[in-house]
Amino acid sequence: MCHLKTIIPAILLTILYSWNTAGQNSDTSRVSLLFAGDIMGHNEQINGARDTTNGTYNYEPTFRFVKPVIEQADIAIANLEVTLAGPPFSGYPQFSSPDALAVAAKDAGFDVLILANNHALDRGAAGFKRTLRILDSLQIPHTGTFYDSADRKLNYPLMLEKNNIRIALLNYTYGTNGLEIKPPYIINRIDTDVIKRDLIAARQASPDYVIVTIHWGLEYERFANAQQKKLASFILSQGADAIIGSHPHVVQPVEFIVGADSAVTGLVVYSLGNYVSNQRAQYKDGGIMFNLGLVKTAAGTRIDSYSHTPTWVYRQDLAKKSVFYILPVSLYEQDSSLIELKEFDQYKLSRFANDTREHLNNIPEEKVVAGGR
C-alpha cells in the first residue's frame, strides 16, 4: 500500500513539475490504478451498518475482503453515488448515507472519490455542500462537484501524481434526476463544448495521462448504446487517453483504441457496474474493479497492463438487519471457507462470475488470492 501521492491544483503544476523532475534521469516509471463502480447506500445498507447499542455506523465489513486488493494499487478511485447530507439517513430515491461510509472507503484504500452522478443533488444545496465539506475534513480528494467557479478553476482537472507520473482526472454526469442547483455551486454535466475546453486545459497542464470518468448510458443495459459510443469517440478525439464509465449498475464491455504498432493507445470501460448496493437481481448484484497499469519512459506514457477483478455483493441476512460484503469472486472460489454462503448465495455468486467472464472475455481477469492479488 502506498498513499503518498500528491494532489496538485493545475495552477501549481508547472512549478512543482520543474521541482519534481530536477536531477531525475529517464528511468522507467510505473503506476497502478484501480477503478471501482457505484458505491450506493440503500436503506438496508444503512440499517445493516448501524450499531443499535450506541447509534453509530460501521461499514468496515463491506470493504473487508477487497481492502487488501485496493491497498495494492498506487491510486484507487471509486464513484460515491450518495450524498453525505447528514440525518435523517435514507436510501433510494434520495440518498443520504452516514459519514462512516466515506471513512470506511478511505480506510479500505480508496484515494479519490468522484462525485458527478445523478444522485449528487438528492439533498439539495445543503446536502451538496455538506458532502464536499465532509470529504475535505476527511482529506479525501474528490472531483466532479465544486463549491464555486473559483474552486473549479483551482482544482479542475484534478491532478494526481505518483511515481513521477502525473494524471489528469476529469468527471461528468448526464444529469441529476431533474434536480437543479443554483450558483455558486457547480456540478459537471456532459456538455461537449465544456468537455472540449476542459481537455484543452488538461493538456496544457502537461500531464502524462488523461482519464475521463463519466456517468452515462442507460440503467441495467448490458451493452453501450450509440450515444455512449459517439460521446466516447468525441472525448478520445479531444485528447483523453482513457474513459471509465458508471451509472448502468451492470457491467458493460471494454473497448480499446489500438495504434499502428498494435499497442493499446486508449480504452473505454463503458460501465464498472455496482460496487456495493442492495440491488439483488441478476447482473446488478456485483461489478468489477478495473486495474490499469501505466509505464512512462523517455518515449512517453502508455498502457502497460490491464485486467478486471469481478466482485459480488453478499448480503448476510441476520435476525434484525443485513450486513453487506464486497467479495472478490476468485478469492471465494479459491477458499470457500472465507465466509459461509448458503447454497442459493453460492449459486448467485457463480452466476454473476460466469456472466461477467463471458461478457469481458477480451479482458484478462486478475485473480485474487489470500492477502491481496
DSSP assignments along 159-215, one per residue: EEEETTEEEEEEEEES--TT----TT-EE-B--HHHHHHHHHHHHHT--SEEEEEEE
Residue 195 in this model has a pLDDT that exceeds 60: yes
**Residues near 279 by Cβ (< 8 Å), separated by ≥ 6?**
40, 42, 249, 285
Q: In this predicted model, what pLDDT tens digit does every residue of 39-52 receive, in sequence order? A: 999 999 999 999 99
Q: What is the pLDDT of residue 19?
A: 29
Residue 15 in this model has a pLDDT that exceeds 70: no
Q: Indicate yes or no: pTM above 0.95.
A: no
User: Chain-wide mean pLDDT for the chain?
Assistant: 92
Residue 59 in this model has a pLDDT that exceeds 50: yes
Identity at 309, one-letter amino acid code: T
Closest CA to 315 of 12, 26, 49: 49
Here the cell at position 198 is 476542459
Q: What is the pLDDT of residue 240?
A: 97
Q: In this predicted model, what pLDDT tens digit does every residue of 64-120 receive, in sequence order? A: 999 999 999 999 999 999 999 999 999 999 999 999 999 999 999 999 999 999 999
Q: What is the mean pLDDT of residues 348-360?
A: 98
Burial 197-221, CB ≥16 within 10 A → b, else e: ebbeebeebebbbbbbbbbbbbeeb
**Residues forming a β-bridge with 7:** 160
161: Cα separation from own chain's centroid: 17
Q: What is the mean pLDDT of residues 157-185?
A: 97
Q: What is the pLDDT of residue 131?
A: 98
Q: What is the pLDDT of residue 13?
A: 29
Q: What is the pLDDT of residue 373?
A: 58
Contact yes or no for 132/148 (Cβ under 8 A): no
Residue 21 in this model has a pLDDT that exceeds 60: no
Residue 236 to residue 259: CA distance in whole angstroms: 13
Residue 144 in this model has a pLDDT that exceeds 80: yes
Q: What is the mean pLDDT of residues 333-361?
A: 96
Q: What is the pLDDT of residue 372?
A: 56
Residue 236 to residue 216: CA distance in whole angstroms: 16
Q: What is the pLDDT of residue 369?
A: 80
Residue 156 in this model has a pLDDT that exceeds 50: yes
Q: How confident is the model at residue 360 (pLDDT cuts 50, 70, 90)?
A: very high
Q: What is the pLDDT of residue 27?
A: 82
Give first-to-last CA distance, the chain, whole Å. 12
Question: Which carries the bigger pLDDT value, residue 317 or residue 21?
Answer: 317
Q: In this predicted model, what pLDDT tens digit does every residue of 209-232 receive, in sequence order? A: 999 999 999 999 999 999 999 999
For 177-183, the CB contacts below 8 A with 24+ separation are 177/93, 177/118, 177/119, 177/121, 177/122, 179/121, 179/122, 179/124, 180/121, 181/121, 181/124, 181/125, 181/128, 182/125, 183/148, 183/149
Question: Which carries the bigger pLDDT value, residue 36 or residue 2?
Answer: 36
